Amino acid sequence: MHNSIRATCALSLALAGLVGPAASAVAPWPQFRGDCRRTGYAPFYATYNPQLAWTYRTAIGGSGSPVIGANGTVYFGAYDRYLYAAASTGSLAWRYKSGGIIVGTPAIGTDGSIYFGTATGAFHALRSDGTPKWASPYSVGGQGIPGPVLVGQSGSVYFGADDSRVYALNPDGTLKWRYLTGGQIKNGVTSSPDGSAFYASCNDGLVYALDANGGLKWKSKIVSPSNACAVGAEGVIYVGGTDCSMYALNPNGTQKWAYRAFGKITTPAAIGRDGAIYFASADNTLYALNPNGSIRWTKPTRDVVYSAPVTEMDGQLIYGTAAGHLISVRVDDGSTVWDRIAGSTIYASPALSFDGSIFTLDSQGQLAKFSGPVNAEPSSLVAIAAGLVATASLVRRGRRTARKS
């Protein structure tokens, strides 16, 4: 879903009597980092004073992040082989047992389908009620699918696997294409803004760019990628490395700039509303860079941060910590907005919902929901209300495109 559509539908939910079927059918956080570009940006407001609303604990932990469907249901996988669906009230809606450990983050299609892979190489598609969408899962031959799933603008599904291949499936589960890279793909796949290119950071130290038909566009020079790519609105690709550098690559694969920290880059980049880039490093520091690669600010962290930060319209940068805290800082100067205890160690990236709620999953399998007031500006809401008719048209157009694919 394009950010403009998500933004309009998100804020429209705050307008009493103006929520129509088109708006309510949009998922606030359908995949890892919120969108297919993996920006971590929510074009709506998160609460500025979160309070713990509820927790739901599984029998065992996991390593993926939660995603949120159109009706507020939160989906996440665990090491006990179950894909969990938690209702917006905190109760278990359903759970589905797969044939293997679930280590990556699922993704939600425009029709509400949930897609996820397992460590045994099975790729599943479920309906929103937890029943299988396909007669049998797609298999990659026993190799693990460790990274997050991507649902592209066309509705096709993309993922990387330990067999060093990038896979593209049609929504019906048939193979669209696959491409063999030079290394295992632990961090999933990221889309360009227009959906014409897909980027995979691989264990051979390269970033691969593939076209919409699965052909190689380019592969980078050695950058030793340590996490997933994030793509800006202008198509610039940001990827952190084990060599302590955050790289910015032009859409043609050439290097735009590189910023060197003092430790391995430990999180994917978050891209803010103004194009600023935020990430954490093993040097116990949170970094904010301007779009040209110059430093905006740095903030010491008590421990190494592995939770990929997210941003929102009110200027908060939100992330989890090894000590189990959920923290928000200001994007303009790094000052702390709030700090909440959310559980045990948090490796997962937070997920944000239209009503301002924040969800986080700790390493022990506890899902926590934080809710509270938001700072939505009245003038912005009026503008959003005026755009609801156009939004409904765009959503319907997107659904028609997905059906045709």
Query: pTM of this prediction?
Result: 0.88
pLDDT per residue over 382-400, tens digit each? 444 444 444 444 445 445 5
What integer pLDDT is reported at residue 262 of this predicted model?
Answer: 97
pLDDT band at 377 (very low <50, low <70, confident <90, very high): low
What integer pLDDT is reported at residue 62 of this predicted model?
Answer: 87
- Report percent pLDDT > 70 for the chain: 87
pLDDT band at 63 (very low <50, low <70, confident <90, very high): confident
Nearest residue to 159 (alpha-carbon basis) of 131, 130, 179, 134: 179
Q: How many CA atoms lie within 13 A of 230 on its CB side?
A: 30
Its sign, for the CA torsion 42, 239, 66, 152, is positive
Q: Which CATH number does the domain 3-404 belong to among 2.130.10.10, 1.20.990.10, 3.40.80.10, 1.10.3720.10?
A: 2.130.10.10
The whole-angstrom distance between residue 70's C-alpha and the CA centroid of its chain comes to 15
Structure tokens at 329: 């800082």
Instruction: Evaluate if residue 218 carries a pLDDT over 60.
Output: yes
pLDDT per residue over 147-189, tens digit each? 999 999 999 999 999 999 999 999 999 999 999 999 999 999 9
pLDDT band at 25 (very low <50, low <70, confident <90, very high): confident
What is the strand order of the sheet 114-117 is part of?
A: 107-108, 114-117, 122-126, 138-139
What is the mean pLDDT of the segment spanning 229-238?
98
Structure tokens at 107: 């993704």
| Separation of alpha carbons 192 and 184, rounded Å | 21
| Separation of alpha carbons 30 and 113, rounded Å | 10
3-state per-residue secondary structure call for 81-124: CEEEEECCCCCEEEEEECCCCCCCCCEECCCCCEEEECCCCEEE
Task: Give the bridge partners for 258, in sequence order.
Answer: 247
Mean of pLDDT over the chain = 89
Instruction: Evaluate if residue 1 carries a pLDDT over 80.
Output: no
pLDDT band at 59 (very low <50, low <70, confident <90, very high): confident
| Separation of alpha carbons 192 and 177, rounded Å | 18
What is the mean pLDDT of the segment spanning 77-106?
96
| Separation of alpha carbons 76 and 361, rounded Å | 9
| Separation of alpha carbons 104 and 93, rounded Å | 21
The mean-pLDDT minimum among 7-21, 260-274, 293-307 falls in 7-21
The domain spans of the chain are 3-404
Residue linked to tokens 């760019």: 209
Burial class (CB in 10 A: 0-12, 13-18, 19+), 210: buried
What is the mean pLDDT of the segment spanning 134-141?
96
pLDDT band at 350 (very low <50, low <70, confident <90, very high): very high
The mean-pLDDT minimum among 105-114, 297-306, 385-394 falls in 385-394
Instruction: Evaluate if residue 249 carries a pLDDT over 80.
Output: yes
